Amino acid sequence: MVVEVIIFVFAALGALAGGLGVVASRLPVRNALSLLLVLGSLAVTYLLLAAQFIAVLQVIVYAGAIVVLFLFVVMLLHRQLGAMSPDRLRWQGPVAIGLSAAFLILMLLTLRFATNAAAPAPAEFGTVESVGRALFTSFALPFEVASVILLVGIIAAVVIGRPASRPVAAPPRSSAPSPVGAPRR
Amino acid sequence: MSVPLEAYLALSALLFVLGTTGVLVRRNALVVFMSIELMLNAVNLTFVAFARQRLAIEGQLAVFFVVVVAAVEVVVGLAILIAIFRTRDTVDIDDVDLLRG
């Protein structure tokens, strides 16, 4: 169908423009919002590929949680984000771009081997029901491991983000309280 | 599938290369994280495209697990970034060179 092709072209252009914005923009807020554009465009392509559940997951988890987390960090650090020390590795940029271009050519050359005979997808393919059925039967163990990984992530964020622990011996009560705004270490 | 598989794979390759370029070129640790997210999403697109072509739901399950691990990675990575910023007052990854020989 022509409509699918038109939607794909717009989504692809949006994703590529967003990707360029993530890499090239100097403003961290603009980087984060470009990432949001990429994630939204990719959710549209997932819909074209009969992956409704993954598209919703993409919008909720990536666009809803991860980009917001990035924006929070930008908000916390915004004074320092523009300040960069002078570049000490001047050759790194051109070499990186050259190597990435070579890698891109290599990957595009492999596309010759792609076979392109797709049957029309059955109506239930990619719905919450079919994904959930596979997730809770043949992929039950990886699903439980994923929940453990999430728990580890929560604990790690709390432990790393906590300010440095106080000394074990509490200071006597008569000592003067530490001034407000003193460095924690 | 009227859009050919090659189109999805080419888009995925372009996004992945943009991500690698960002990781290698940019020195702001936050932007490096976003570029890693870009690469993960490019791989996710490949997974979903092949799942559609082969009509195998396992490809979409792989994307599910990638999203879970990416969320944990961002949380831990940004916590480390904040911790580095607290002690060293910088987010420039070239300034964090304690392991330099």
ipTM: 0.91
Find where tokens 């080419």 sit.
B10
pLDDT of residue A180: 52
pLDDT in tens, B29-43: 899 999 999 999 999
Kindly state whether A182 is in contact with chain B, defined as any CB-CB distance less than 8 angstroms.
no
Report the percentage of chain A scoring pLDDT > 90: 49
Nearest chain A Cα to B11, which residue? A12
Q: Which residues on adjacent β-strands are paired with residue B44?
A: none
pLDDT of residue B72: 93
- From chain B, pick out residues whose CB is under 8 angstroms from the CB of A160: 76, 79-80, 82-83
Confidence of residue A120 (pLDDT cuts 50, 70, 90): confident
User: Is the model more confident about A77 or about B71?
Assistant: B71
Kindly tell me the sign of the dihedral angle through the C-alpha atoms of A45, A48, A49, A52: positive
Instruction: Compute the nearest-CA separation of B57 from chain A (Å).
Output: 7
Find residues 5-34 of chain A whose CB sits inside 8 Å of chain B: 5, 8, 12, 15-16, 19-20, 22-23, 28, 31-32
Helix/strand/coil percentages in chain B, nearest 5 = 75, 0, 20
Amino acid identity, residue A92?
Answer: Q
Amino acid identity, residue A66?
Answer: I
Instruction: Compute the nearest-CA separation of A166 from chain B (Å).
Output: 16
Distance CA A136, CA A144 (A): 10
The average pLDDT across B4-22 equals: 93
Q: Hey, of A71, A138, A160, which one would you mutate to test binding to chain B, going by the most B CBs within 10 A of its CB?
A: A160
pLDDT of residue A81: 64
Nearest chain A Cα to B24, which residue? A96
pLDDT of residue A185: 47
Q: Which residues on adjacent β-strands are paired with residue B56?
A: none
User: Is the model more confident about B1 or about A34?
Assistant: A34
Q: What tokens were used for A122? A: 């059955």
**CATH number for the segment(s) B5-88:** 1.10.287.3510
pLDDT of residue A165: 63
Statement: residue A149 has pLDDT above 50: yes
Distance CA B47, CA A126 (A): 13
User: Is the model more confident about A174 or about A32?
Assistant: A32
Q: Assess contact for A37 and A46: CB atoms under 8 A.
A: no
Assign B28 to helix, strand or coil: strand
Greatest Cα-to-Cα distance within chain A, rounded to the nearest angstrom? 81
pLDDT in tens, B68-98: 999 999 999 999 888 888 888 778 888 887 7
Q: What is the dihedral of CA A94, A98, A100, A101, to 10 degrees?
A: 130
Assign A14 to helix, strand or coil: helix
Nearest chain A Cα to B85, which residue? A77
Nearest chain B Cα to A42, which residue? B45
Q: Would you list the domain boundaries of chain B?
A: 5-88
pLDDT of residue A37: 95
pLDDT in tens, A98-114: 999 999 999 999 888 77
Q: Assess contact for B77 and A68: CB atoms under 8 A.
A: no
Assign A98 to helix, strand or coil: helix
Q: Which of A45, A80, A97 sits opposite B91 (nearest CB)?
A: A80
Average pLDDT, chain A: 84
Average pLDDT, chain B: 89
Distance CA B41, CA B46 (A): 9
Confidence of residue A83 (pLDDT cuts 50, 70, 90): low
Go through the domains of chain A in sequence order and give each one's CATH number. Answer: 1-67 (1.20.120.1200)
Q: What is the DSSP letter of B3?
A: S
Find where tokens 């070239």 sit.
B94
Closest to B51 measured CA to CA, from A64, A110, A55, A149: A55
Distance CA B2, CA A116 (A): 10
Q: Which of A8, A23, A88 sits opposite B22 (nearest CB)?
A: A23
Confidence of residue A169 (pLDDT cuts 50, 70, 90): low
Closest to A151 measured CA to CA, from B58, B71, B36: B71
Q: What tokens were used for A73? A: 């960090």
Q: What tokens were used for A65? A: 């949680």
